[in-house]
Structure 1
């Protein structure tokens, strides 16, 4: 694990917020506009990308070039760039592009600064609402329409009291969907389609569980940083670190995590 002093941590926090601000400014002119052009990145299926995705990542990379050129970068749209500092910024300029092109405010900008063990800070930013979730270096806070307030996850201990989210009803493979549905059958409420915003709601103490499969590193590292800072737990479906993506279980606390994990492991 990389050792980060107070001066460096303050700089990283400042850079993360500057990148989120830059991404907001790049994205918002395109949101809910009739002229937005969408491209499909897949020959078989639908994985949309827009000019807003690319503009936001370019804006964040410009901030890093100016302020932290020694760091590596991994972004969804422009790939990996090696650094020399031991830190890598992991960027998803618009997580939830399907929601973005549909006009829903559930997409977000994801930012993480990570070392070899995973995120040391994370940001989930929703530009249209003006809501930002930040976690790292002893800080867990949300800012937005209601002002600034601390983030703290729920203390729900029983699955029958839990609120569960996932983005796609199909979740992943048929086996992965079956595993998700076993957890869902034991939960109080299951909801769909929130993309990264569901993870932010775990950190905010609104949601107990998010279960997904087929994620990339840039889909999950920002949320990991925020949720862990707020007191939650994020692993894969075997209880291992999830910062490389794959099958992810995000939970409000260790107790509810253990109960959901026991069911998922039966897949």
Structure 2
């Protein structure tokens, strides 16, 4: 029988330590390319622009090397190198640089996303921003911001009024035209809307700075780690219909159930 991290303290500690080891392995690679004049960017698309850099690829390779050493029997799903099967029932979900557009533009809104999934979705996650020295972690009933030598408890906001809410998303042209109409209904009801925040938006939601993040077109590696961190900090993350979103799609992350319900109602109102 496979061990359950909910009841196996040694396994919990091993998974947390492994997540930090992966972030530590990726950080020097991503920092080495950030704001570098020699950084080369490729485009994954024939039409449009979906950038990838050697830093993306090298950081994922570094994390996979660590997993081969520390947890060789776990599965892996990574943005750059796809899926590797495992036998433990656990899957590491890796995005070496979430927000590559921000990364190549020099904005510190990108981060390395690391999650470990069980059969029902993420059980522990980490959002690492090595340039600012911030690591947001969450899972197993605990959420913290690690910075320098400090450990600061993460807790989402208590505001339940949509009219006082701060809403973040990455792209103004979110999803399909119908998705944009739905998003606009929520945005028009909020106090403040900001764009281009990449994974840092989810970190700020967990830290109690903002109220909502709404996005579309996500992959599993974009959202698994934020789910774990935000839920551990007291927030709610689902798809636009209120169901699980750890496999990707359209996501609503909210500081509390009341805001989550209000956002879902407006998204479905069209």
Cα deviations by residue, 1:196-241 (Å, 9 ceiling, x for unpaired): 0000001000010000000000000010010000000000000000
Question: What's the TM-score once normalised by structure 2's chain length?
Answer: 0.97
Match of 1:32 among 29, 35, 51: 35
Give every structure 1 segment of 4 or more consecutive aligned residues whose post-TM-superposition deviation is greater than 3 Å.
none
Q: 2:92 aligns with which of 89, 93, 105?
A: 89
Displacement of 1:2: 7.2
**Is 1:15 matched up with 2:23?**
no
Alignment of 1:28-177 (within 5 A): 28-144=31-147, 147-177=150-180
Q: Distance in 2 between matches of 1:156 and 1:61?
A: 40
Choose from 230, 235, 245 the match for 1:232: 235
Q: May I ask how many residue pairs the two structures share in their alignment? A: 267
Give runs of aligned pairs for residues 254-265 of structure 1, distance below 5 A.
Answer: 254-265=257-268
Alpha-carbon distance between aligned partners in 2 of 1:84 and 1:266, rounded to the nearest angstrom: 43
Superposed CA deviations along residues 46-80 of structure 1, whole A, max 9, x for unmatched, are 00000100111001101100000110000000000
CA distance in 1, matches of 2:3, 2:69: 22
| Structure 1: distance between partners of 2:84 and 2:261 | 36
**Offset at 1:266?**
2.1
Structure 2: distance between partners of 1:2 and 1:133: 26
Structure 1 vs Structure 2 CA RMSD: 1.2
Matched, 1:3 2:4: yes
CA distance in 1, matches of 2:147, 2:170: 23
Q: Deviations over 1:114-139 (max 9, x none)?
A: 01210000100001111000001122
Q: Is the contact between residue 3 and residue 11 of structure 2 (CA under 8 Å) also seen in structure 1?
A: no
- Mean Cα deviation higher: 192-201 or 21-30: 21-30
Structure-1 separation of matches of 2:3 and 2:230: 20
1:147 Cα deviation from its structure 2 partner: 2.7
Classify 1:143/1:58 alpha carbon distance in 2 versus 1 (closer, same or farther; 3 Å).
same
* Unaligned ranges ≥5, structure 2: none
Q: Deviations over 1:63-114 (max 9, x none)?
A: 1000001100000000000000000000000000000000000000000000
